[in-house]
Amino acid sequence: MHRQIMTRVPVCAITPDSVSGEIIGWVHEIRDLGGLAFLLVRDRTGIIQVTIPKKKVGEEIIATLREVSRESVVHVQGEVKAVNKAPGGREIIPKVLLIVSQAQVPLPLDVSEKVPAELDTRLDNRFLDARRPRVTAVFQVRSEVQHAVRNFLHDDGFYEITTSKIVAAATEGGTELFPIAYFEKEAFLNQSPQLYKQMMMAAGFEKVYEIGPIFRAEEHNTTKHLNEATSIDVEVSFTDHTGVMDILENMIRHVYREVSTHCSDALACLEMDSFVVPSDSFPRIPYRDAIEIAGKKMDEPIAFGDDIGTAAEKVLGEEMGTHYFITDWPTAIKPYYAMPYEDEPEICKAFDLMHPRMELSSGAERVHDHDLLVRQIAEKGLNPDNFEFYLKPFRYGMPPHAGWGLGSDRLVATMLSLPNVREAVLFPRDRHRVVP
Ligand code: ATP
Ligand code: MG
């Protein structure tokens, strides 16, 4: 049954001018009109019509046609003809049609998208769901986003680092940690590479980034929270919060530009006609102004020191209509490692980057003074003794530094207007989902 594939080409490479073609792909649709049958065969590059005039092809092909089911993998070799009505303006008349891998019937999910499926069913059958061109397109864009981030940072002199996800202490304290069984020791999955990337500033690496998983044992069930997310984390020495805001803003613009240049087919598939690369610089609004704007809009004042919740984020997003920063947060509601202003220590040099729909990133100039850091850890009700591994580098020459963490999943979800961040993740983890 099996036959060596000699000259397999991607479906999109077969043009109306091709004379012959050999493809291998999934049966997207089967249409049998009696004397004539059509198979639409799909690979990640597109769809091609295989036209079978039953009287003109061999008996073997007719037998295969009778047997083959949708979503089976088939191998087709034949003559290519230009036809106006077929997808891509061409068709293949097969000389060879073989089933490489037969798909069971019924399918758990309709790949041709004629029958809509719930997100849960889709995620349960992600391998099938991801065969849908629209889903493939999302992950093509996601790949481009991470590639563009790497290129941008690498070209700017950053070292890519990889830090451990198994840790003994919480980054920011709190209960949002997943405990794990680690021999005789207490250990957790890391909620952020924050402390490690700062330690690499003490190592003199100057500019580092990491793209990796962060784990949050939060019980929320929203369209923007996951229990395992992918964070793009950056830390830079000899700069302040404004320096790393510039990097973040330039990087986001670069990423949008790269997606716009390299993913036009994916964007068309996702009907993103309105895909715009942000051009102007992102407005920077101090927290005090942000709570005033949001408070007025919501007709409900937000007190200094309160967090900016989802409802306030929404009205601010509507007001801004673009990416924007919220700067100069109250020191009390930002982590201990955020640097307070010298002349106004109740606010600190921390910022959030917001998309009109949600927060994308949090960052700050960091405290690099050991004693101030110890005081701030204690003020948060944490025990500085538990942070000795982190504090030690601050006693042996720590440069001033700043950085941020950007949610890769949220970046993709907002860029592509996906209603749920889970759509931007292959195998999302939430309170109810650990499989597949
Ligand atoms: P939020 O307030 O929206 O819950 P956060 O302030 O707790 O987010 P940070 O600790 O500031 O999140 O993490 C930095 C970035 O990492 C966030 O801006 C977001 O893009 C991403 N991120 C953090 N937690 C999650 C999560 N649970 N799911 C998806 N992305 C997340
Ligand atoms: Mg945050």
pLDDT of 393 reads 98
407 CA → ligand 1 middle, Å: 6
Pocket of ligand 1 (CB under 6 A): 216, 218, 225-226, 229, 231, 359-362, 405, 407, 409-410, 421
- Report pLDDT for 6: 75
Q: What is the model's pLDDT at position 174? A: 65
The residue nearest atom 18 of ligand 1, judged by CA position, is 361
Q: How far apart are CA 56 and CA 64, in angstroms?
A: 15
Q: Which atom belonging to ligand 1 lies closest to the Cα atom of 226?
A: 28
pLDDT of residue 169: 76
Q: What is the pLDDT of residue 215?
A: 97
- Give the pLDDT of the chain (436 residues) as one tens digit per residue: 566 777 899 999 999 999 999 999 999 999 999 999 999 999 999 999 999 999 999 999 999 999 999 999 999 999 999 999 999 999 999 999 999 999 999 999 999 888 889 999 999 999 999 999 999 999 999 999 999 999 999 999 999 999 999 998 776 766 689 999 999 999 999 999 999 999 999 999 999 999 999 999 999 889 999 999 999 999 999 999 999 999 999 999 999 999 999 999 999 999 998 899 998 899 999 999 999 999 999 999 999 999 999 999 999 999 999 999 999 999 999 999 999 999 999 999 999 999 999 999 999 999 999 999 999 999 999 999 989 999 999 999 999 999 999 999 999 999 999 999 999 999 999 999 999 9
Cα(195)–Cα(13) distance, integer angstroms: 48
Task: Give the span between the Cα atoms of 257 and 252, in whole angstroms.
Answer: 9
What is the pLDDT at residue 220? 84
Per-residue pLDDT reduced to its tens digit, 90-113: 999 999 999 999 999 999 999 988
pLDDT of residue 384: 94
Q: How far are the Cα atoms of 37, 38, 59, 92, 99 from residue 62, in angstroms, in the given order?
A: 10, 12, 5, 15, 12
Q: What is the pTM of this model?
A: 0.96
Of all ligands present, the nearest one to the C-alpha of 326 is: 2
pLDDT at 132: 95
Contact criterion met (CB below 8 Å) for 177 and 217: yes
> 184: which 2 tokens?
């005789």
Q: Which long-range contacts (CB under 8 A, 24 or more apart) does 107-114 make?
A: 107/70, 107/71, 111/26, 111/28, 111/70, 111/71, 112/28, 112/29, 112/70
> For a pocket test of ligand 1, which of 326, 362, 422 has the largest count of ligand atoms closer than 8 A to its C-beta?
362
Nearest Cα to Cα of residue 165 among 175, 176, 178 = 178
Instruction: 146-151: list long-range contacts, CB under 8 Å, 24+ apart.
Output: 146/211, 146/232, 146/408, 147/258, 148/254, 148/255, 148/258, 148/259, 149/209, 149/211, 149/232, 149/251, 149/255, 149/408, 150/211, 151/258
Percent of the chain with pLDDT strictly greater than 90: 93
Instruction: Tell me what pLDDT residue 1 has.
Output: 53
Report the separation in Å between the CA atom of 361 and the middle of ligand 2, taken as the mean of its atom positions.
6
Bridge partners (DSSP) listed for residue 355:
358
Choose one of 189, 225, 353 to mutate for the ligand 1 pocket test, by most ligand atoms within 8 angstroms of C-beta.
225
Residue 332 CB neighbour total at 10 angstroms: 12
